[in-house]
Amino acid sequence: MLTPLRIPTPYGPTIVADPPVVLAPMAGITSEPYRRLCRRYGAGMSWSELVSSSAMILGGEKSQVKTRQLAYFSEEERPVAVQIFGADPDMMRQAAALIAQTKPDAIDINMGCSVAKIARCGAGCLLLRTPQLAQDIIAATVEGAAQFKVPVTVKMRAGWDDSCITAPEVARRAQDVGAVAVTVHPRTAKQAFSGHSDWSVIRRVKEAVSIPVIGCGDVVDGPSAKAMFEQTGCDAVMIGRAAMGNPFLFANVVSYLESGADAIEPGVEEKIATARWHARELAGLKGEHIAMQEMRKHAAWYSKGMHESARLRDRLCRISTLAELEAIWDEALEVAARYGALETVS
């Protein structure tokens, strides 16, 4: 049996992620409906999309609506963490207090995003260049969240570049000021998503702190998840890009870790039923216009492996209404039936 991820907190309840295979936060991907799907297919915990602390505190009405959508979570998801980012300790303190009132299981600080618009404001992975400021931000966030007894975790990269691997130091500082767990994606900010993750950095962080460490980076299936556990000693593995359009991956990974065998791959009917549910729920949360813009990429990912998928993807990437999407899925089922197999093909 897999050992659940257990994150002790100073407020009594321990956060338990069972199984210790969790969903990474991804902007434009891990909305509340998608997180629910991943939880249903076996993810032990999930993290929200990135929420801007400055938008929460200084944003206008439109910005506030978007922020509430990003930070929204349902009871079905628990345990769930809401991730925030920012470069100003006071603003992070205020944002943490606001989010903590909604009682997520944790508030996570993003110190790993390498997107230019986040790095330009001094947040995300840029904080790894200034460990003292990173510590101040963590301390302020812990203080703000403490008002409502919500613990704080931190997600970080290895460092800024190969000459600035600061994850072990920042993790120690995070522990010193009250963070209850850290996640490490051991690529540098300069790497973005190129090259390979250096899992030895996860091992170094694990050796540097006593709080739980979650490993992330290049986990794409059961064997790679098993290898990360064995090579790093991490307490849980986090899956990000490999889960895009593939919530079913969690069932495969968990099955492999428990028995050495993959779970049965879903057929076309299950994939399309899942994609339909995802789109309808997302439209209910964000409105049809925004939801369909977001679903273009999700739908294209869901179609992978289906018959005539290239032609389907060309249309899926241009949808603007839920009705259009439903019609394309109807056609995809007809195509699969015509080929005589309503199942995924290689």
- Per-residue pLDDT tens, the chain, 346 aa: give them: 799 999 999 998 999 999 999 999 998 899 999 999 999 999 999 999 898 888 888 877 777 778 888 888 999 999 999 999 998 999 999 999 999 999 999 999 999 776 666 666 667 778 989 999 999 999 999 999 999 999 999 999 998 778 889 999 999 999 999 999 999 999 987 777 777 889 999 999 999 999 999 999 999 999 999 999 999 999 999 999 999 999 999 999 999 999 999 888 899 999 999 999 999 999 999 999 999 999 999 999 999 988 888 998 999 999 999 999 999 999 999 998 988 655 544 4
Whether 168 is covered by a domain: the verdict is yes
pTM equals 0.92
CATH number at residue 324: 1.10.1200.80
Residue 345 within a domain: no
Q: Which domain holds residue 17?
A: 5-259
Q: Dihedral (C-alpha) 110, 112, 114, 119: value to the nearest 10 degrees?
A: 50
* Of 321, 190, 289, 171, residue with least CA distance to 234: 171
* Alpha-carbon span 138 to 159, nearest angstrom: 17
* Domain edge (last residue) among 259, 282, 308: 259
* Predicted local confidence at residue 195, as pLDDT: 78
Residue 55, pLDDT score: 84
Omega of the bond prior to 151 within 30 degrees of 0, cis?
no
Residues 243 and 320 in one domain: no
Query: Of 199, 233, 259, which one is at a domain's C-terminal end?
Result: 259
Residues 242 and 331 in one domain: no
Residues 239 and 333 in one domain: no
Query: What is the number of structural domains in the chain?
Result: 2
Active site positions, annotated: 113
Are residues 85 and 26 part of one domain?
A: yes
Residue 150, domain member (yes or no) = yes
Last residue of a domain, one of 230, 259, 288: 259
Nearest CA among 210, 68, 185 for reference residue 125 = 185
Confirm whether 344 is domain-assigned: no
